[in-house]
Every structure is written in C-alpha cells, then in structure tokens.
Structure 1
Amino acid sequence: MKTLLREGEPSKAGAILMVGGYSESPLLAETMREKFPRLEIIVPTDAGLAVLKGAVIFGHLPTSITERVSKYTYGVSSCVSFDKDKHPIEKLIKTGLGDACEDIFSILVSSDQKLIVGEK
C-alpha cells in the first residue's frame, strides 16, 4: 500500500476504500488506520460483496466508470518501413512493397495514460 500511494499523485489520495472479504477484518482495518493516519479508512457494509456488486453494476451499465489510468504499457508487434538510421540491420526484411523492419513494438496505450470511455 505504501508503494502504491507513492506512485502517481499521492497528494490526491484522501481515503482508502477497503473492499473484499479481508476488508471485514477489524484487525486489518485498525492496522490500516495505524499505518495511514492521514487517510480516512472506509469499510462499507458488506465489504465482502462490494467487488461482486460493482461487477454486476458495471456489467449492466458499462459507462458507470468513465475514466481509468493504465498501469502498464500495451502494444503489438508490428512491421514498419525500414529506416537504416534507426533500425538494426538484423530486423530488415525484403517485401514486395520494399524494405521493412519487423518486430517493432507499436504502443497502443502507455503506462499512466488516462483512458476515457468513448475516446479513441
């Protein structure tokens, strides 16, 4: 938790919302309050069912979550026009359309990128 709160913009975190089965443990909640005294620790009623309820709501109303931040970079292997100044010669392949560079990682989403529903 300490590592997660150091990533991104920790000053924006004002609370920790505890959900899932272990969240119903009074010992865990008290430990969280001791370790993170500046943050409000919220344990909702039926914390063990909160994840399931959230999944059901999202399944029926996918636009209920409007924005996410990607934790990882995602992409695909691609083939681009070969540029001798920036591509290694061992990745050069000859095609009917000319020289190409194979096995290039083409980024689709970068880590820490905001992903907004409906935006391309």
Structure 2
Amino acid sequence: MKLFGQDKEDFSVLVVREADEVAEAVDQALKTAGPEERPGLERAAALLAAAREATDGELRGNWARRKIAEAGVKGRADSVRAVKALREAEPGLTLLQAVRLSQEAAALDDQEHHRRTA
C-alpha cells in the first residue's frame, strides 16, 4: 500500500480503508464458526470495529509510530530523529509531511499518556 501522494507541495496522504469488507467476511465466518473458532473471530471483529472508528489522523499517526519504533528511535515521536526515521522509511516524504506525521504520532502518544494517568 502506498500512503503518500506524489505532489510535493501538498500534504496528501491516502488512507486505504477496507475494514468494512473484511468485517463482513468475519461476520459471515462467525455465523458458521464452531466453538473453537468463535473466540478468535470475535476478537477479530472487535479489532475491525475499532479500525473502522479510527480517524485518518489516527491511522497516519499509528503508521508513523510503527515506522519510528521500527527504526529504534526512543523518546518523543516528534523529535528530529523521529522525523529523520520517517523520511528514511518513506523516501518520497517531504520534510513538511514527515514533521506533520510525527506530530500526529506524538499526539497519539500524548493521548495514551493522559488516559493512563487519568
């Protein structure tokens, strides 16, 4: 899946959403599932429901968080090292795009931190 548009001046990120089709397939499988398959399919259905509810910003932020973690970057997701890791992971990113993605990742980190401490 290619996430980023070709226009260097525009911050266009394509988010592909196929959760509806996959969720429908899981729902169909649940109808005929045996007792041993049911727990896994129910968990899959719950994960797909959460994916459908995620905003485009959350999907982009989660992608950025994964790429930053894969690069072994510790600390804030909007650090210079994190931006560099994003640009290395996706060479077509402009500096502005990488900064914005890192900010979306950092915002998700902040939200999780506030939830844990609340």
Q: TM-score, normalised by structure 2?
A: 0.25
Structure with the largest fraction of helix: 2
When Rg is computed on C-alpha atoms for both structures, the one with the higher figure is 1
Structure with the largest fraction of strand: 1
Q: TM-score, normalised by structure 1?
A: 0.24
